[in-house]
């Protein structure tokens, strides 16, 4: 595994990236992942450039971050070059280290507005966006994209070359097509083709479920860093495990006590942040966080039936105290405790 990657003037150490995920990578989850250890770069949820300019509440909802999240990249989506440039300037003024363009989201509501992967069929327009945004900001400008619209329209190499020629600092490829969505297998050979074609850093994304997968992607593609998405929600230790595997060939598996600390800490962070809809977020994450927990179905049921944030937290504490003898007094309340197995 690469020890680090430099994107423009920003050093990412280690060379691992938390993928931008709608409804997931808010400030609480990002800081939670940072405290778990091993993640080099955090990314925000993808944010509408048009919405950001029209409604300043979008700024607080999607682009709020804390000092301990650096380095951090803000991801924007949209189709109007000037709107995206204006939004990128706002991102720079807010203090983000990088700004990223989303050309990968396959959601119909985004695609029909010519955003996300909907732009993959119009490379000349993408080129206009690249040039306009690049001229608008001094921080590194990057792009995350899919291989193409479908198997008959693979444009990843051409798009990566276009990004390099327009002065972008790095590219990240999710090695699936828009047509695939999140199904099927990521085609890592497309990442290798992009890496062979450009001189700027290439970040690989798709089907990294274990540290072994991360190492295999680097070995097979030569990519400069790896980006992890959905796995991070079910296994928040994945970045630390990747770092451990890269350093010594082995990595720690979480114990039941570790899982308790993890769930309890994240839920407490949501409550302390006074995150709107925290109870709903807890229930959303319960299905991921209880993956691998013995009798996890019982815990999920207890969480889903609870009505308030404090009631959910109490159900978690009751379950683990009964199941594995974990007590809140010995677990601790700080996310920093997660750094120790």
Report pLDDT for 334. Answer: 36
Tell me: do 174 and 44 sit in the same domain.
yes
Tell me: do 303 and 319 sit in the same domain.
yes
Average pLDDT over residues 323-337: 46
Mean pLDDT across the chain: 91
Model confidence band, residue 338 (pLDDT cutoffs 50, 70, 90): very low
C-alpha pair distances (Å), 236 with each of 162, 189, 297, 306: 34, 27, 19, 24
Domain end call among 220, 248, 276: 248
Structural domain that includes position 25: 5-248
| pLDDT over 70 at 5, yes or no | yes
Q: What is the pLDDT of residues 104-118, one digit of tens each?
A: 888 888 887 778 888
Tell me: do 85 and 194 sit in the same domain.
yes
SS3 content of the chain, % helix, strand, coil (to 5): 50, 15, 35
Average pLDDT over residues 293-315: 90
Contact 180, 207 (CB under 8 A): no
Q: What is the pLDDT of residues 274-286, one digit of tens each?
A: 888 899 999 999 8
Tell me: do 90 and 209 sit in the same domain.
yes
Q: Which of 57-66, 192-201, 238-247, 330-339 has the lowest mean pLDDT?
A: 330-339
Tell me: do 196 and 303 sit in the same domain.
no
Q: What is the pLDDT of residues 214-251, one digit of tens each?
A: 999 999 999 999 999 999 998 999 999 999 999 988 99
Tell me: do 22 and 134 sit in the same domain.
yes
- Whether 326 is a known active-site residue: answer no
| pLDDT over 60 at 85, yes or no | yes
Look at the block and give the residue holding tokens 């993956």.
Answer: 291
Model confidence band, residue 326 (pLDDT cutoffs 50, 70, 90): low
Distance, in Å, from the CA atom of 321 to the CA atom of 331, rounded to the nearest integer, reads 11
End-to-end CA distance of the chain: 22
Tell me: do 130 and 192 sit in the same domain.
yes
Domain end call among 191, 224, 248: 248
Higher pLDDT, 217 or 339: 217
| pLDDT over 90 at 256, yes or no | no
Q: Phi, psi (5° rounding) for residue 222?
A: 75, 10
Q: Using CB atoms within 10 A of its CB, is residue 97 exposed (0-12), middle (13-18) or buried (19+)? A: buried
| pLDDT over 50 at 154, yes or no | yes
Model confidence band, residue 168 (pLDDT cutoffs 50, 70, 90): very high
Average pLDDT over residues 59-82: 94
Model confidence band, residue 56 (pLDDT cutoffs 50, 70, 90): confident
Domain end call among 193, 225, 248: 248
Tell me: do 308 and 237 sit in the same domain.
no
* Annotated catalytic residue, options 39, 105, 156, 166: 105
Tell me: do 76 and 163 sit in the same domain.
yes
CATH of the domain at 118: 3.20.20.70
Tell me: do 39 and 167 sit in the same domain.
yes
Q: Total structural domains in the chain? A: 2
Tell me: do 220 and 87 sit in the same domain.
yes
Tell me: do 142 and 279 sit in the same domain.
no
| pLDDT over 70 at 325, yes or no | no
246-271: string of b/e by CB count within 10 Å (b at 16+)? beeeebeebeeebbbbbbbbbbbbbb
């Amino acid at each position: 595994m690469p020890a680090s990657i430099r994107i423009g003037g920003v050093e990412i150490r280690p060379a691992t990236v938390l993928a931008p995920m709608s409804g997931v990578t808010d400030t609480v989850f990002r800081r939670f992942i940072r405290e778990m250890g091993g993640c080099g770069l955090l990314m925000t949820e993808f944010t509408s450039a048009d919405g950001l300019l029209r409604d300043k509440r979008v700024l607080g909802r999607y682009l709020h971050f804390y000092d301990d999240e650096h380095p951090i990249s803000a991801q924007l989506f949209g189709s109007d070059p000037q709107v995206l440039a204006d939004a990128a300037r706002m991102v720079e003024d807010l203090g983000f280290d990088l700004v990223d363009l989303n050309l990968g989201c396959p959601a119909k509501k985004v695609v029909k507005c010519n955003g996300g992967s909907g732009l993959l069929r119009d490379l000349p327009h993408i080129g206009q966006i690249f040039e306009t945004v690049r001229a608008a900001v001094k921080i590194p400008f990057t792009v995350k994209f899919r291989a193409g619209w479908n198997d008959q329209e693979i444009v990843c190499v051409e798009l990566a070359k276009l990004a390099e020629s327009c002065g972008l600092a790095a590219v990240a490829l999710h090695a699936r097509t828009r047509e695939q969505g999140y199904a099927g297998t990521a085609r890592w050979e497309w990442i290798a083709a992009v890496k062979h074609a450009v001189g700027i850093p290439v970040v690989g994304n798709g089907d990294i479920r274990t540290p072994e997968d991360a190492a295999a992607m680097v070995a097979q593609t030569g990519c400069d860093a790896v980006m992890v998405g959905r796995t991070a929600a079910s296994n928040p230790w994945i970045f630390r495990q990747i770092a451990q595997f890269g350093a010594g060939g082995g990595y720690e598996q979480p114990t039941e006590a570790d899982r308790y600390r993890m769930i309890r800490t994240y839920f407490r962070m949501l409550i302390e942040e006074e995150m709107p809809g925290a109870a709903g977020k807890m229930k959303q994450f319960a299905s991921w966080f209880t993956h691998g927990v013995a009798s996890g179905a019982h815990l999920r049921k207890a969480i889903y039936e609870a009505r308030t944030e404090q009631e959910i937290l109490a159900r978690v504490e009751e379950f683990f105290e009964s199941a594995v003898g974990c007590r809140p007094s010995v677990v601790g309340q700080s996310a920093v405790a997660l750094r120790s197995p």
